[in-house]
Structure 1
Amino acid sequence: MFEESCDDTPKCPFEVYKEEADKMNKMGEYMKAIEKYNIALEMRPEDEKCSVARGYCYLHIGDIEKCLIDAIQAFENNSTNTAAICLRAEALYRKGCFEDSLIYFYRGKKIRPDHKAFKIGIQQCEEAIENAVGKNANVKLLNSGDLTQYYENQKRKKVKKEKTVMRQSSARTTNEEKYTIDRKDGKTMKQMLGQLYEDMLFLDELSCTSKNNKNIKKMADNCLEYLDSRSLFWQEQEPMYSRRKKTIDPRSGEKKEISQEDCSKYVLKTMEEIDEFQVNGDHTKSLRLCKKLLNEIKQWNDSVVLNRHEIISNIHSFIGNSHFELGDYENALKSHQVDYEISKQNQIKETKSRAMDNLGRVYEKMKKYSEAVDISKIMNIVAVLRDLTSYIDKPKKCRWEQKIPLIESDIEAAWLYHEISRCYMQMGKINDCIDYAEKSIDASINAKDDVWKISATIILAQAHSHKKNYEKSLNTFNKAKEFAISLDDQNSLENIESAIINVKRKMDSENSYTSKPVSHTSESLKSFVEE
């Protein structure tokens, strides 16, 4: 988006590059985000947020060393920065340094006891350490002093030095020899990688057969190196013997069935994580976790998953919200439609109301005002899935009108009628706009909410202006002005006075005005009403 000059001098301020990098980060374009963060950090090397954000990008692409460098730099600048502590702990965990990672997770929890990432990190580190070394329940400490642990540590150091020497000598071999040595035990690699084992074989073959094409060979070798590093990490995190003992019955080879209680706890915990990702603006992670949870729920039996339909409905709502925030309105629309249909089929009142709100919000963002009001298109989608003929003869209804029976309070009615009125205004259906604006005013009066009363009154005045009923429009604007004065709302008052002047000008020139009718309110008032 931004081009750099030949002398690599940044043309834009720091904030521009950081904002562009944050946008790329949210979209999952981590390499492009890193490029922008690099430029931003050249301008402000001490910026902690920028270092942490770039560190997470490195973490996503698997470059743990560079991620750790950014985390250490941010931590040294501010040792109480919880984001830097969390990043450093995560990087150490991915590197296989579970004990060091656990230290930083505990340090972060001490600063922010309410942060769930630290609690989850502590649990993962403890599980990884337990899988690697086992429980110490059989260890007995004596008063006489046992130096066994000291001698064991000395042995480990000696073995580590020998391994380092061997590693340095083997590093001189070519890439082809290195991959052959690393993958001699195909059975272990297959158990470790699972479905990725087939991809590893393909990349290995591609690396050997693409000697003439250096670019392809380099890409294949980089992928193989990444798989090797991940295999080592997975082996340290959860050794093969631990996996077999924990998840598989050796005689049957079948996985153990999850209990109903464990399922409920897992689903609740995962949905809390998804919600936290969305609150923090990390919608890419939120989508990934939503899809993972959705696939797992589909594989479990109905006896294990309580309220299956409600959970799936909530997950699709989460997915739709994340797509909406990322600007992918088409996929957001699909997810909210699924949420609506599940809620409707299973008569879940709360989720159905939520899905209607979200659908209207997406259609409005896409500037498809007719779809926001017209339910026929959504009904046709449902008809393809179920029974087409049962919906064809039904009259068109407003989606938000369908929500009217679900209204539980006057304030909700005031808001809902206001939104319906505004959509009809955008569609040019002025009579319907006037009807719902008047209903919104009545509901706001009952709710004693002056803010919605002003908004609905302004829409009503606009509607009369569209119909060239300038006297009614002027009277209605004057009422809105009185409401604004009583609330001492100077911003609304200025916009209303501007609109009144505009209407008076139209009244004076009505006889000579013959062109096509346009909106008779100021742009500032339009933006005020839309807000």
Structure 2
Amino acid sequence: MEYLETLLKDEGLVKGNTRSGLKLQDLIMNAITYLDTRTEFWRQQKPIYARERDRRILQQKWKKQRAKPSDPHQYLLNSMEEIDLLLSKGDAEGSYKKAQQVLKNIKSWKDDMPNKQEIIGNLHSCIGAAQMDMGQMDEALKSHKKDLEIAKQRDLPEAKSRALDNIGRVYARIGRFKEAVKVWEEKIPLATSSLEKTWLFHEIGRCYLELGLLEDARNYGMKSQEEAEEAGDVEWQLNASVLVAQAQGNHLVFCTVMFQIDTFVIQKLLSHSNL
């Protein structure tokens, strides 16, 4: 951290960009914040990629059907977008109330409605996310477990992945790291992209680090690093390298972090040192 802070004083360096277009100043600041406030990791909202994925799945299933003025599918899509928007704006209570109202409406509809149970599971997921943001962890866990139960009953892999994702988050946030690891490791075969695997392996590794199981933490950190490189995500490469360094010992933090920041940074450092 001390070394990263000295980099910020080098105006010529911090004004530059990485090959991916990310400002070096932002990258270094993110690294410092990450090291300084590691507990904030457990307070993150559901990743944007996951929220967008859930909405995209619903849209793909329903967009083929012709919309009508009273089309329930259009009502649901609009409602889900509103629920998500309220949560992303920090209005967890508003998101919760909206999701509860939509859930009540859905349950009153005919049972022969296509994907009704899948929709109900999705709404339980939304309710759980809002409850988590409101600090209602026990209730959030119940909601996400309802989502998981429906996903298993209906054999819905995407929904199962989502539910396991969220259940693990609740466990991690309340310090039940063993349960979080168990849930997230069950999710591994369901992860479909390098970015998702990057985040997932990192979460599991962080739990092992909290449990003092350094070898397991290091192994998952390296897996996260590999997936981050595959995804081409510089920030997650940095996060993963920090996790690996912490699992190995503080004396390695500098080496691993500087390796992952970017080859461009190293070149700039060399040029500034007149080597």
Shorter-normalised TM-score: what interval? 0.5 to 0.7
| Bigger Rg over Cα | 1
TM-score normalised by L of structure 1: 0.34
Q: In 1, are the aligned partners of 2:144 and 2:166 still within 8 Å (CA)?
A: yes
1:36-47 equivalent positions in 2, closer than 5 A: none
Partner Cα separation in structure 1 for residue 225 and residue 147 of structure 2:
31
Q: List aligned pairs for 1:272-291, cutoff 5 A.
A: 272-291=81-100
- Counterpart of 1:358 in structure 2 is 166
AA matched with 2:140: A
Which residue identity does 1:285 align to in structure 2?
G
The 5-angstrom pairing of residues 304-343 of structure 1 reads: 305-343=113-151
Partner residue, 1:484:
261
Counterpart among 264, 281, 305 of residue 73 in structure 2: 264
**Equivalent residue in structure 1 for 2:111, among 281, 284, 302:** 302
- What SS class does the counterpart of residue 403 from structure 1 fall into? helix
Change (3 A) 1:311 1:438: same
SS at match of 2:192: coil
1:434 Cα offset (Å): 2.0
Residues 264 and 306, structure 1, Cα contact 8 Å, conserved in 2: no
Once the two structures are TM-superposed, the CA of residue 297 in structure 1 deviates from its matched residue by 2.2
Aligned residue type for 1:479: T
Higher RCO (CA-CA < 8 Å; seq separation 6+): 2
The Cα offsets for residues 52-98 of structure 1, whole Å up to 9 and x where unpaired, read as xxxxxxxxxxxxxxxxxxxxxxxxxxxxxxxxxxxxxxxxxxxxxxx
Instruction: State whether structure 2 residue 176 is matched by structure 1 residue 368.
Output: yes
Q: CA deviation digits over 1:189-209, x for unaligned, max 9?
A: xxxxxxxxxxxxxxxxxxxxx
Q: CA RMSD in A?
A: 2.8
Between the two proteins, the alignment pairs up a number of residues equal to 200
1:433 corresponds to which residue?
Answer: 217
Q: How does 1:222-261 map to 2 (within 5 A)?
A: none
How far apart in 2 are the matches of 1:459 and 1:416?
13
CA distance in 1 between partners of 2:260 and 2:90 (Å)? 38
- Contact persistence 2:177–2:211 (CA under 8 A): yes
CA contact (8 A) 1:414 1:441 kept: yes
Listed one character per residue, the Cα deviations across residues 15-70 of structure 1 (whole Å, up to 9, x for unaligned) are xxxxxxxxxxxxxxxxxxxxxxxxxxxxxxxxxxxxxxxxxxxxxxxxxxxxxxxx
- Offset, 1:425: 0.5
Gap regions ≥5 residues in structure 1: 1-258, 374-397, 466-472, 494-531
Map 1:99-498 → 2, pairs under 5 A: 262-303=71-112, 305-373=113-181, 398-465=182-249, 474=251, 477-484=254-261, 486=263, 488=265
Q: What runs of 5+ residues in structure 2 fail to find an aligned partner? A: 1-67, 270-275
- Secondary structure class of the residue paired with 1:353: helix
**Deviation for aligned residue 1:332:** 1.2
Using structure 2 for the length normalisation, give the TM-score. Answer: 0.63
SS of match in other structure, 2:129: helix
